[in-house]
Chain A
Amino acid sequence: MKPRTRWEAVCTVDDLVPESGIAVWTEEGPVAVFYLPHRLPALFAISHTDPFSGANVLARGITGDLKGEPVVASPLYKQHFSLLTGVCLEDDTVRVKTYPVLLDGNQIRLEVRANQRESIAA
């Protein structure tokens, strides 16, 4: 069964930096949100935690594309992670979690697991 989820508002459009990432705090922990205005869709969200170092830094990596795939490079050890799938291009056995993200008016929302209390309330 798919766990219950909800769309958590994490920031506004003004917080985004074009061609770059920002970090937000969610119920599931730190998430990196990227805004690539020259792509469609332009918003991507993946875990902020770099699996190779354990540090919360991925939002501070350089974005770009490799063979057409949108990626971010870890600022620590420079591995590339696909913004679409979270897979590490240098080692496909490693992947970071990706999150569905949408623009709702002025709000950026992420689909995160609802915690127990809220799912009952819902």
Chain B
Amino acid sequence: MSKKTLIVVGNGMVGHHFLEQFCASPAAADFEIIVFGEEKQLAYDRVHLSEYFGGSSHADLAMGTLEWYTEQGIQLHLNEQVTGINRENRTLETPRGSYRYDELVLATGSYPFVPPIKGNDRPHCLVYRTLDDLDAIRASSEGARTGVVVGGGLLGLEAANALKSLGLEAHVVEFAPRLMPVQLDADGGALLRHKIEELGVQVHTEKATTAITEGEDARLRMNFSDESFLETDLIVFSAGIRPQDALARASGLEIGERGGIVIDNHCTTSDPHVHAIGECALWEQKIFGLVAPGYTMARTLSSALNGDRDTAFTGADMSTKLKLLGVDVGSIGDAHAQTPGARNIRFNDEQAGHYRRMVISEDGKTLLGAILVGDNSHYDTLLQYALNGITLPENPETLILPESQGGAPALGPDALPETASICSCHNVTKGDICGAIDAGCSDLGSVKAETKASTGCGGCTALLKNVVDSELEKRGVEVSKDLCEHFPYSRQELFHLVKVNGIRTFRTLISQHGKGHGCDICKPAVASILATCWNEHILATDHVPLQDTNDTFMANMQKNGTYSIVPRIPGGEITPDKLIVLGEVAKEYDLYTKITGGQRVDLFGATLSQLPEIWEKLIAAGFETGHAYGKSLRTVKSCVGNTWCRYGVQDSVGMAIRLEDRYKGLRAPHKVKMAVSGCTRECAEAQSKDFGVIATENGWNLYVCGNGGMRPRHADLFATDLSDEELIRTIDRVVMFYVRTADRLQRTSVWMENLEGGLEYLKQVVLEDSLGIGAELEEHMEGIVGTYQCEWKTAVEDPEKRKRFREFVNAPSQCDPVQEWTVERGQRRPVLESA
């Protein structure tokens, strides 16, 4: 029997997903498959389009590869537009030829709606949907200062983000009285607007554009119906989408009144041999403008073409969770409470910028919908309640209240029924995940590979991990705490082995307690332990090969293989003479110079062989290493304190310098930051540090285990009104206890959260000496303080150690050929590889 022909028109996300499904099904063997794509590129991820300006390329966004299409035997015609369908002969036409089909799939997607405004066809009036559109926007942004997005919906805000990442002053013009009118209510819209305006995007609501004319101060002027106007250099229309149904319309297929190719529950059109999926399809008078329903249609159609008439498309959940310009927004189910009798519970914290609304049924038992702005951490739990009809707790408001006000913790994975949908993009339920685990998947990676869960939009990643961890635990799979394949111990256990047995080299430790030769996980961890226990120079011959390059060469490697240098500036206090030396050295070696967040100066672009010469000069001027490369104390930030400030109550600079000099060089599981503020105004931001000290009338308050960066955490108040000596003794104990008991690469914040008993336990150990180790911890710290040496001073004075800094050992004058430079804002920086 000769094969039949299946033609797919459209190579977008949904078209591609259909091919993936269909090619893996038995019916694929009966068909030759031909695919037509209007765009030049293979299907790519439109959901993350704005990342294109953040440095992603088509390759990053691509859904599949040419190799995959070849392997499947698919005839792929990109950049070839289908111009007509003849349903009677079952053929379709393109400028290059005529093709016969047995089954035809239309996955033509949608096109951006451009409102009929006079002047909307002027140059620099653009749309936002394809990579070509983005290239056009980028080209138009050359020489432009401002950009306007028409449309304040989901896509409009994405487009505004794109304009912002191109460096334009971005405006959003919306016809409705609020942003995202479909998903949000008045309060949610107002909060979103406030947050977005704080980010520098100007929002104009209730504006109807009447005409676009030539601008006076910019390229274009938008005239509004209220007589006001706005000048801008480019305009992006993002006022909604319209189904791309022109082909179907011309061929006489049934089309909805307001557009869209009419389909039945099996995604078949009014012609039994023509099918439609995705945004071009109209099901029960509804168009679905999200990717997940499109994927569901693709799966339904693939089943139907395999003769399965039981699988049907029955509509789709339109809940969405996203980050727009960095602001969390979530909308679930009946967000506008249109169900008769529906009741609302609202939580609105204007101070924190959090808005949450639950829509619940008349009997108070089920969640119908929800709106979240500012914080999506409740989204997963609420979605599970809504989708699975889980009975609400007696006081449903606890689901959206902050924990401090009696809020309930998130719904645990155990509470979810087997039918709970975990990944809506790939339609994976909790039952599917349990099935995959029972079939042999034993970690997150293999569950993802097996079920495809969390490989679509990625919104369910955290939930998936929780479900997998919980199910693995239930099956008695122990999550391994081993450091790596060479040591069956945690960092803390290794610390004890080293300390108790007096082990001084990696070789001894691995031969007695491990196996193999080590790796880049265990070697630096052991080096850190050895340094803490014995405080030998990190360039002692035995220790060199254990360190990360930053530790080995005592500088921070940058992307082109050069290093940056951060000399210590204790407490941020520096004399003019030393500042001049930094300037002179930077000038001599043409180093890019930047002030760090920790009140220091970072000098970038030194080659390996320049490092010792540069340090010779810095040391001669009285500088010491700043350990910016090490898992050790970085900086003690301070405000100016009572020596100058009229509000200061203690000498914060003096204390910061004392602390920095005391703890410098100490090796720890991760970097440690400190700060000292001279009064309660907290100008040194001490509460975001591992150790924060704030002056009081009577002494010092100590805060511990705070963090900035990726996972911010406010430090906890640990002790109050301490004298100088009490403060130092307390910090000694906490630091040493952390160094001895934390895991590899565990910051103090995570360490404390994982410590059984948490803050209270830590207080007992340190303040009440409940373990009786207080004196020992202090003594250990005294020993380390006493043996401190500036690693750079030791290194430049030792010819053997200096040999390590040769770029090429056999060619001292050879420059590294890949280090290419350009000048920007008066300083040298590496040439970036072209994207």
Please list the residues of chain A having a beta carbon within 8 angstroms of any beta carbon in chain B: 10-11, 15, 17-20, 22-25, 29-30, 36, 38-39, 49, 53-57, 60-68, 70-71, 73, 75-76, 78, 80
**Chain B contacts of A19 at CB under 8 A?**
545
The residue on B at minimum CB distance from A71 is: B519
Query: Are B519 and A10 in contact (CB-based, < 8 A)?
Result: no
Q: Does any Cβ of A come within 8 Å of B140's Cβ?
A: no
Q: Given contacts A24-B809, A54-B833, A60-B553, are A65 and B561 in contact (CB under 8 A)?
A: no
Query: Are A75 and B519 in contact (CB-based, < 8 A)?
Result: no
A-B contact pairs, 16 of them (CB 8 A): A11-B810, A18-B541, A20-B545, A23-B808, A24-B809, A24-B810, A30-B817, A36-B517, A53-B559, A53-B561, A60-B608, A62-B545, A65-B518, A70-B517, A71-B519, A75-B549
**Chain A contacts of B811 at CB under 8 A?**
24-25
**Which residues of B (489-536) have their CB < 8 Å from a CB of A?**
516-520, 522-524
The residue on B at minimum CB distance from A26 is: B810
The residue on B at minimum CB distance from A21 is: B545
Closest Cβ of chain A: how far from B227's Cβ, in Å?
A: 56
With beta carbons under 8 angstroms apart, the residue of B522, B544, B550, B809 that contacts A20 is B544
Give the CA-CA distance A66 to B516 in the complex, in Å: 8
**Chain A contacts of B485 at CB under 8 A?**
66-67
**Chain A contacts of B814 at CB under 8 A?**
25
Interface SS of B by simple majority: loop
Query: Are A23 and B809 in contact (CB-based, < 8 A)?
Result: yes
**Chain B contacts of A68 at CB under 8 A?**
516
**Chain A contacts of B541 at CB under 8 A?**
18
Closest Cβ of chain B: how far from A2's Cβ, in Å?
A: 26
Query: Are B548 and A75 in contact (CB-based, < 8 A)?
Result: yes
Task: Report, as a range, how many residues of chain B touch the other chain.
Answer: 35 or more
The residue on A at minimum CB distance from B560 is: A55
**Chain A contacts of B518 at CB under 8 A?**
64-65
With beta carbons under 8 angstroms apart, the residue of A15, A71, A75 that contacts B557 is A75
**Chain A contacts of B523 at CB under 8 A?**
62, 64
**Which residues of B (7-30) have their CB < 8 Å from a CB of A?**
none
Please list the residues of chain B having a beta carbon within 8 angstroms of any beta carbon in chain A: 485-486, 516-520, 522-524, 541, 544-550, 552-553, 557, 559-561, 608, 803-804, 806-811, 814, 816-818, 833
With beta carbons under 8 angstroms apart, the residue of A36, A39, A57, A64 that contacts B519 is A64
Q: Given contacts A23-B809, A25-B808, are A63 and B545 in contact (CB under 8 A)?
A: yes
Query: Are B520 and A64 in contact (CB-based, < 8 A)?
Result: yes
Given contacts A30-B808, A55-B818, A76-B559, 15 further A-B contacts (CB under 8 A): A15-B809, A18-B545, A20-B545, A22-B809, A23-B807, A25-B810, A30-B816, A54-B560, A56-B818, A62-B547, A64-B517, A64-B519, A65-B516, A65-B517, A67-B485
**Chain A contacts of B803 at CB under 8 A?**
15
Query: Are B808 and A24 in contact (CB-based, < 8 A)?
Result: yes
Give the CA-CA distance A68 to B486 in the complex, in Å: 10
Query: Are A62 and B818 in contact (CB-based, < 8 A)?
Result: no
Query: Are A17 and B804 in contact (CB-based, < 8 A)?
Result: yes
Closest Cβ of chain B: how far from A35's Cβ, in Å?
A: 10
**Chain A contacts of B544 at CB under 8 A?**
17, 20
With beta carbons under 8 angstroms apart, the residue of B557, B810, B818 that contacts A76 is B557
**Chain B contacts of A38 at CB under 8 A?**
517
**Chain A contacts of B559 at CB under 8 A?**
53, 55, 76
**Chain A contacts of B545 at CB under 8 A?**
17-20, 62-63
Query: Are B561 and A57 in contact (CB-based, < 8 A)?
Result: yes
Query: Are A61 and B520 in contact (CB-based, < 8 A)?
Result: yes
Query: Are A73 and B519 in contact (CB-based, < 8 A)?
Result: yes
Which residue, of A17, A25, A49, A71, has the highest number of chain B Cβ atoms within 10 A?
A25
Q: Given contacts A25-B808, A68-B516, are A60 and B552 in contact (CB under 8 A)?
A: yes
Query: Are B519 and A66 in contact (CB-based, < 8 A)?
Result: yes
**Chain A contacts of B550 at CB under 8 A?**
75
6 nearest CB pairs, A to B: A55-B561, A64-B519, A19-B545, A75-B549, A73-B520, A25-B811
Query: Are B516 and A49 in contact (CB-based, < 8 A)?
Result: no
**Chain B contacts of A11 at CB under 8 A?**
809-810
Which residue, of B485, B486, B520, B522, has the highest number of chain A Cβ atoms within 10 A?
B520
Give the CA-CA distance A60 to B805 in the complex, in Å: 10
Give the CA-CA distance A29 to B818 in the complex, in Å: 11
